[in-house]
Amino acid sequence: MAETGNPRFLRPVTAAGADVGRAITFDAPLALDCGKSLSPLTVAYMTYGTLNAARSNAVLVCHALTGDQFAASAHPVTGKPGWWDTMVGAGKPIDTERFFVICANVVGGCMGTTGPAEICPATGKPYGLEFPLVTVRDMVRAQAMLLDALGIEKVMSVLGGSMGGMQVLQWAADYPDRVVSAVPIACAARHSAQNIAFHEVGRQAIMADPDWKGGTYQLHGTQPAKGLAVARMAAHITYLSEAALQRKFGRNLQNREQVSFGFGPDFQIESYLHHQGVTFVDRFDANSYLYITRAMDYFDLAAEHDGKLAQAFGGSKTKFLIVSFTSDWLFPTSENKLIAHALNASAATVSFVEIRTDRGHDAFLLDEPEMFATVRGFLNSVALKVGA
């Protein structure tokens, strides 16, 4: 049976009054794709809104690579607003006055769900690289265990962007009867070679940091901060678009009249990236970054179904809404359209919209009125159908 309590975080809670959410520790092990199993498994999660009597208004939100369960409330470590504050909340498209929203930290994460920074019961030390490789499917399995524990048989909708979108697709493929509707945003049914390449740059940066110490940095009281910051900087560029970078920064200089003829942060874009890197290190675990990027690399939904994506959704009754962004080159419209075509080929019910924006992949986290209008309308039509 499951226990409920407060989650343990790697970093101290600094935001006074922030809701730290809850955690459930499962006695049953989580059977992983790699053949190993994880036990005990703790899943840390947040909920927003109220589950109705018919239990028909549950909505599952899946987070992206560096996200967490704090979708719509202050992050307890950084104090910043929830990562999907624009989308989830009272009166927002995912309306917490109407829906019961659940968001869980993924397995392999570092915000309370079991991950490489947790203590391995066999050794009494942090797992580090002894932590088994996890997949997107494993993340979804852990979420299914959480829903079971919460007594939720069916969710009205499962939504997420980027790696969250991958989880949405995996949910629809693995648990079609538990998912009334699915909204994968800015994602793909498989990680492309280019995306694997960018992830590998990030991982190599972490592992090249002498403070990484073969993944055992916790035992040495160090942290591969520089490596993780470089990984974050490289990745962050892929979340933006050339046009948005030019618009926001151009060749503007940082607090100076002319270039310094040195290697300090002359340009605003350099200063911005440094800031992104440094602040990331304060809230994220380097080994978690290795594991979660690897899970995304391994994601290939068609491969699980004889290479035919349409088969992954064969006979599905789930209603899909796929959203892409014109300037997203990390998960471009073409990849999102492949999913729409596969769903059409499998006679599933699918809608697809491409939102015009110059903000790149990150657009799914930002104020994009067209996306809000589409998601709001879609969820409303689903809610009317299921009586939520």
Applying CB under 8 A, the residues found at the interface with another protein are 319-321, 337, 340-341, 344-345, 347, 349-356, 370, 373-374, 376-378, 380-382, 384-385
Q: Which is nearer to another protein, 66 or 336 (CB)?
A: 336
C-alpha radius of gyration, the chain, whole number:
20
Q: Which is nearer to another protein, 41 or 383 (CB)?
A: 383
> Residue 375 CB, nearest distance to another protein (Å)?
9
305 is catalytic: no
Asked if 278 contacts 229 with a C-beta cutoff of 8 angstroms, the reply is yes
Q: Which residues contact 334 (CB under 8 A, 6 or more apart)?
A: none
Contacts 24+ apart (CB under 8 A), 116-124: 116/215, 116/285, 116/287, 116/288, 116/290, 116/291, 117/10, 117/218, 117/285, 117/287, 117/288, 118/42, 121/39, 121/40
Q: Which is nearer to another protein, 278 or 310 (CB)?
A: 310
| C-alpha 308, offset from chain centre | 25
> Residue 158 CB, nearest distance to another protein (Å)?
17
Q: Which is nearer to another protein, 65 or 312 (CB)?
A: 312
275 is catalytic: no
Q: Which of 209, 285, 328, 362 is catalytic?
A: 328
What are the structure tokens assigned to 262, written together? 């040195």
Q: Which of 95, 297, 361, 362 is catalytic?
A: 361
> Residue 371 CB, nearest distance to another protein (Å)?
10
> Residue 349 CB, nearest distance to another protein (Å)?
5
Q: Which of 162, 241, 324, 327 is catalytic?
A: 162
Cα distance between residue 217 and residue 8, in whole Å: 19
328 is catalytic: yes
Question: What is the sign, positive or negative, of the torsion defined by CA atoms of 122, 106, 276, 206?
Answer: positive
Cα distance between residue 185 and residue 67, in whole Å: 15
Q: State the catalytic residues.
A: 162, 328, 361
